[in-house]
Chains A and B, each alone.
Chain A
């Protein structure tokens, strides 16, 4: 199993990943609360970016409505906890099922009726907007006035109910990010990974090679939706409040795809690098501005804009591919 996992990965890459993992594991003991919350955000965006990347980067289906899955996942687990006291570890099952089902409905409508490209993207936006407006009027989860999770001062971590310190959430997010990374790595080496890439590159040619493109595109959408919903669960229990206007908003969908776009769509490491660059630099910039006494609202958004512009103009494949070459981590010649 481990051999299969490491097959074809440059040694230097493994070493760097292990060093990174060690730093991330030690982080809560080394840094303060603010930096830890930034690190949590980085991991959160790395994780959802990875999940989105399965759909867009691997299978070539552009979703601009991934906030739908975050929101559905968050609301499902949170509502079950608030109303029935059901642990999020059980509630996440509902999150996965509801989000996966939503993904399946969107995928079925689009792929069965040949909706693709920008039209598919518009369809994903439409469903997210539909959910935003629908949840505004959904009394069971308090509609537009928001759903709040009970907050107390916890002396110890209650992992079963996800009530506890930021460090607990940090480690949970880290574990999810690592798991998503490994899962995507394995998927890319498997039959389904090859099929996704083939569909992304040329659906006609893929179909002519015996690939049921409907089926494999559905796999990508449902898996991506289900993974994204788990981020929603953590989001709900970390922030303890949910508003439809925020969680389903299109700006959230855009925010979560910026990481993989800046890092490199379709690459395994791109979402990590992108999330790190964007979040760390944006927060760093904000902090720097505060230090020199300038508080400009929206500076983060302007910064995102510049990053995007810069990447689109100079690094159309994202930051990671040239960075990988620089580090000597690009695909090595394989003697088969």
Chain B
């Protein structure tokens, strides 16, 4: 498997606080990779560096052989990266359908076509019956799904998911897991996911990268990292053994 997204020695400090230090990992094409670690480990910062919200102090981000470090978020989206926000950012005053149409316009020549794409994405994520509701009226789990729908509508080659399972009921989570699995299997969508819900990480990811204090402390298959003493100590807890 070739690396589709490659992170090399990525570093970012915020006024002296080293949020991300020397982080390197790869996401092979067509795979689902989990990014885990305790709160404040630098996972979301890492995402924001990849998605262009922050410019890295050091290091490179390479997508499909092209260096995208320092690009603007919209350029990175056009390069094929879709993302969700941990703290959801719906277009609150627009309807659910309109939210997704905005995303779908990226890969559609016309609004009519974008509408059609938005429809199929909403159906896939079980939000079609909510299409005419304002996004502000949705519950938090629904807003998380809307985040995913909007990002998917941009037809990304790689999807960055920031804690989309948080707050979901087990059945809702299973639906979400199956959606990602199906997308991955059918269209070869590459996924990098930050997730605290270990059940989702374990069932979806082939590879897991563990961050702590801004550094990668372990990487490997889910089985390997859950047995890694350093990971157990800082994140999963001894009882996970």
Listed in ascending order, the chain B residues whose CB lies under 8 Å from chain A are 51, 53, 72-74, 77-78, 83, 85, 89-95, 97-98, 101-103, 105-106, 110-111, 115-116, 119, 131-132, 150-151, 154
Contact = CB atoms under 8 A, between A and B. Distances in A.
Contacts of A194: 98, 101-102, 105, 111
Interface string A208-226: 1111110000000000000
Given A194-B102, A210-B154, A213-B74, A334 B89 contact: no
Contacts of A210: 74, 77-78, 106, 154
B51 to A, nearest CB: 6
Interface string A145-161: 00000000000000000
Interface residues of A, number: 25
A208 B132 contact: no
Nearest to B97: A336
Which 10 A-B pairs give the minimum distances between C-beta atoms? A210-B77, A201-B91, A205-B89, A210-B106, A207-B73, A198-B102, A202-B89, A209-B103, A207-B74, A210-B78
A137 interface: no
Contacts of B115: 336
A304 B116 CA distance: 45
Contact of B72 (A200, A207, A209, A333): A207
A12 interface: no
Contacts of B150: 205, 209
B98 A211 contact: no
A206 B85 contact: no
A333 B83 contact: no
B156 to A, nearest CB: 10
Interface centre among B83, B85, B105, B111 (most CB of A within 10 A): B105
A191 interface: yes
Nearest to A266: B93
B105 A336 contact: no
> Which secondary structure dominates chain B's binding surface?
helix
25 contacts: A190-B111, A191-B105, A191-B110, A194-B101, A194-B111, A197-B91, A198-B102, A201-B91, A202-B90, A205-B90, A205-B91, A207-B77, A208-B74, A208-B151, A209-B74, A209-B103, A209-B106, A210-B74, A210-B78, A210-B106, A211-B102, A212-B74, A334-B132, A336-B116, A336-B131
Contact of B89 (A190, A191, A204): A204
Nearest to A211: B74
Interface of A: 189-191, 194-195, 197-198, 200-202, 204-213, 266, 331, 333-334, 336
A204 B85 contact: yes
Nearest to A332: B132
Nearest to A204: B89
Given A189-B111, A194-B105, A205 B85 contact: yes
A197 B74 contact: no
Contact of A209 (B93, B94, B102): B102
A208 B105 contact: no
B105 A195 contact: yes
